[in-house]
Amino acid sequence: MALPMLRGCCRLPSTLSFTRLFLNESPVLNRSGRRRLSPCSASAVTVSVRPYSSEQGEHKQKVVVVGIPNPFIWFRTRIYYFLIRTYFDKEFNIEEFAEGAKQAFSHVSTLLSRCQFEALEGLVAKDLIGKLEEKCSSLPSDYKKALSADPDEIMYTTPGDVGIFYDDNGRKFVSILMRFWYLTSAQLPDESMEGTRIFKVDIGDGEEEPETKRLLTAIYEFQREFTKGVPPDWTITRIEHSKLLD
């Protein structure tokens, strides 16, 4: 099975290591380790609740998330996009990729929340599935519910780190880290959710009690092999849900 929204996926061996080709950052990345976004690579995010009226005259509220990208990261990633189009895929478009990644995030997060780990095969790297199963199986039901991101509740999506790698056999890979902000109505304990934001969202004519939703973040890394003759498939090689699956 493949990720249809990203033209499929490829699974990579857990022992594979990569060396970064361009923009001298971390010289070596090993799949067995964890790589986190540096503080400067995350966009600044402003969140507000704006009132508006529907066609029926109903007063509602809408949560608006506005991202302010780091100028250095924005410029650096544009260089990577240029390199990808020049040397790997001339039709690569980051806007189309981000939209496909958003759909993949919603689909995979829903499977995670339902503990449907067998359905992740072919979508998520095999060695990562076992780790996810171990973590998700012990989560309380509300935490599992909070993993699921409905497409309509995804407030903001932005690319993070971009990497171009090769191995000792000359195989070439591209990885793109995506960060998502989404709302959930799952009832989560406040003491374990420090740092997250809570909103009361009015839906309807205002007679009912506003629904409480919490803004959560998640990081998914997508990786594809660009070696000649290899299918143009992407796989998810990293999944993090802040406060839920760190």
Report pLDDT digits (tens) over 35-85. Answer: 333 333 444 555 554 554 455 555 455 556 656 667 888 888 999 999 999
- Confirm whether 46 is domain-assigned: no
β-bridge partners, 221: 177, 238
- Confirm whether 181 is domain-assigned: yes
- Confirm whether 126 is domain-assigned: yes
**pLDDT at site 65:** 60
**pLDDT at site 32:** 37
Please state the rounded mean pLDDT for residues 180-185: 92
**pLDDT at site 197:** 57
- Confirm whether 231 is domain-assigned: yes
- Confirm whether 45 is domain-assigned: no
Under the banding of pLDDT at 50, 70 and 90, the label for residue 33 is very low
Structure tokens at 151: 């497409």
- Give the DSSP per-residue string, the chain: ---GGGT------TT-EEEE-SSSS-SEEETTS-----GGGSPEEEEEEEEEE-TT--EEEEEEEEEE--HHHHHHHHHHHHHHHHHT-TT--HHHHHHHHHHHHHHHHHHHHTT-GGGGBTTB-HHHHHHHHHHHHTS-HHHHHHH---GGGEEEEEEEEEEEEE-TT--EEEEEEEEEEEEE-----GGG-TT-EEEEE--SSS-SPPEEEEEEEEEEEEEEE--TTS---EEEEEEEETTTB-
Average pLDDT, the chain: 76
User: pTM above 0.85?
Assistant: no
Dist CA 222 CA 234 (whole Å): 6
Give the range of the structural domain holding residue 114, as residue numbers without chain letter. Answer: 71-241
Report pLDDT digits (tens) over 121-162. Answer: 999 999 999 999 999 988 999 999 999 999 999 988 999 889
- Confirm whether 52 is domain-assigned: no
Given a cut of 80, is residue 13 above it in pLDDT? no
- Confirm whether 1 is domain-assigned: no
Given a cut of 90, is residue 239 above it in pLDDT? yes
Please state the rounded mean pLDDT for residues 192-213: 58
Report how many domains make up the chain: 1
* 231 against 33, higher pLDDT: 231
Torsion angle in degrees (nearest 10) through CA of 153, 241, 37, 71: 10
Distance of CA 28 to the CA centre of its chain: 23
**pLDDT at site 4:** 58
Dist CA 115 CA 231 (whole Å): 29
